Amino acid sequence: MSDTLLFVNAAQTVTCAGPPRARRGGEMADAAVRSGIGVAVQGAEIVAVEPDDVLRARFPDAREVDCDRGLLAPGFVDSHTHTVFGAARFAEHELRATGVPYLEIARRGGGIHSSVRDLRSRSDDELFALAGPRLARLAAGGVTTVEIKSGYGLTVHDELRTLRVIRRLADAGPCHIVATCLAAHEVPLEYRDVPGGREAWLDAIVHELYPQVARDRLAAFADVFCEPGVFGVEEARRVLEGARPHGMRPKLHADELHDGGGAALGAELGAVSADHLAAISAGGVAALAASETVATLLPATMLFLGTGRHAPARRLIEAGAAVALASDFNPGTSPLQSFPLVLTLGVSELRLSAAEAWIAGTVNGAAALGLAGVTGQLVPGFRADLAVHAVDDYRALPYWFGERLCVGSWAAGRACHAPR
């Protein structure tokens, strides 16, 4: 028996084939959807994307995965999550419904701070055990690569602990995991109300935490919540510039609720992505469009916060930016573990076409993690990250929202979510 796996009998194949880099502006309109095309996988790699009969002739001994006239697609790349946390935050959800704003809840010591108290009280084993089923639910929606941020530890010790749990999740597989150090998620309460506290926490991040993260290679990226009322542009610059000598590339939570100049900072620093952007200024749009920084939009967060507003996706695309979609899965603002619903919101709320939404959740998600040459496309030489969905048209996935349509996903050729 050969070790080749053939994915055949798909009604449509969303290849997303194209250059191995972020797609910008008008390039996002083409997801390279084909009919009658299958995929051959050997080990962890895609080796051929051809008509089924051509594949069968080339690989006569291969095992077949029958896509059953469904949709064959690249695995989604969820490039922004906070998957390692303890408990849910039901009370805060209701509190916001009564009109208390997100940042006011944080000012009162809730929000991110409640997840921080909770995470600090749990063991590594508990955090690992809680995160595993969450990743399985993401994989069950067709996700094969997941970025996970720290940021609920907010001590050097608890941030390192979180990053080590993320490392364990990566080692456990089968989904690919990318780690980001988000120690600058908030000013920890014990630093907040003391003179010089903010600076002391930033010093601890840059001078104590980062060297240890780098020594054990615990994170590929550094992130900061750059938002008026949390960290300002100069503080964000310090945290991100401070990460660079330690080998961590910058990412930012930028202009989520108010415009604080975060998008322009991301562009200036050459950040791999600037995320959220619901309150981005016209200058921020222009700066991102002129940069290599991916504009990662998180529409589930805006929906769940009930803000009634969204990032200006069309303006970003029309200006020539590269737009990615991600879940922002976290217990405060986006307890969402279904990536296809993010595509739905991309179309219905952000006004993307279905093809743009697919590119945003695959190729551009990969680019937002520096992986545009590795995953996100069904092309020979790319990693064998695939999913099969029980629909016969690529537009059907964002359309039939709320349904569980993914019937199987594979990361590097290994099943993440078993076919029914």
How far is it, in rounded angstroms, from Cα 204 to Cα 200? 6
**Which residue number has the CB closest to ligand NIG?**
332
Which pair of structure tokens corresponds to residue 172? 């456990």
Binding mask 114-133 for ligand NIG (x = CB under 6 A): -x------------------
328 binds ligand NIG (CB under 6 A): yes
- Positive or negative torsion for Cα 345, 346, 349, 351: negative
Q: CB of residue 127 vs ligand NIG: minimum separation in angstroms?
A: 15
Q: Which stretch binds ligand NIG (CB under 6 A): 19-27, 65-73, 109-117, 259-267?
A: 109-117
Q: CB of residue 182 vs Fe ion: minimum separation in angstroms?
A: 8
Q: Which lies closer to ligand NIG via its Cβ, residue 305 or residue 354? A: 305
- Sole binder of ligand NIG in the list 28, 37, 67, 112 (CB under 6 A): 112
The entry of ligand NIG, Fe ion, none near residue 246 (CB within 5 to 8 angstroms by kind) is none
How far is it, in rounded angstroms, from Cα 274 to Cα 399? 27
Total binding residues toward Fe ion, as defined by CB under 5 A: 1
Q: Which stretch binds ligand NIG (CB under 6 A): 259-267, 325-333, 345-353, 388-396?
A: 325-333
Q: Are strands 37-42 and 45-51 parallel, antiparallel or unpaired?
A: antiparallel
Which pair of structure tokens corresponds to residue 410? 């594979």
335 CA to centre of own chain? 14
180 binds ligand NIG (CB under 6 A): no
Binding mask 275-314 for ligand NIG (x = CB under 6 A): --------------------------x-------------
- Subset of residues 221 to 240 that bind ligand NIG, contact rule: CB under 6 A: 225
How far is it, in rounded angstroms, from Cα 371 to Cα 43? 19
Query: Which residue(s) pair with 222 in the sheet?
Result: 181, 250
Which pair of structure tokens corresponds to residue 159? 């941030």
Binding mask 238-267 for ligand NIG (x = CB under 6 A): ---------------x--x-----------
Which pair of structure tokens corresponds to residue 307? 């803000």
Count, in order, helices (H) and strands (E) of the chain. 18, 18
Total binding residues toward ligand NIG, as defined by CB under 6 A: 13
Q: CB of residue 391 vs Fe ion: minimum separation in angstroms?
A: 29
CA distances from 145 to 16, 110, 386 (A): 16, 30, 10
Binding mask 48-87 for ligand NIG (x = CB under 6 A): ----------------------------------x-----
User: What one-character-per-residue DSSP string does 133-162 give?
Assistant: HHHHHHHTTTEEEEEEE--S--SHHHHHHH
Q: Which lies closer to ligand NIG via its Cβ, residue 115 or residue 291? A: 115
328 binds Fe ion (CB under 5 A): yes
How far is it, in rounded angstroms, from Cα 268 to Cα 249? 13
Which pair of structure tokens corresponds to residue 59? 């690989």
Q: Which stretch binds ligand NIG (CB under 6 A): 11-19, 212-220, 330-338, 368-376?
A: 330-338
CA distances from 328 to 274, 418, 419 (A): 13, 25, 26
How far is it, in rounded angstroms, from Cα 348 to Cα 342? 10
Binding footprint of ligand NIG on the chain (CB under 6 A): 82, 111-112, 115, 225, 253, 256, 301, 328, 330-333
Binding footprint of Fe ion on the chain (CB under 5 A): 328
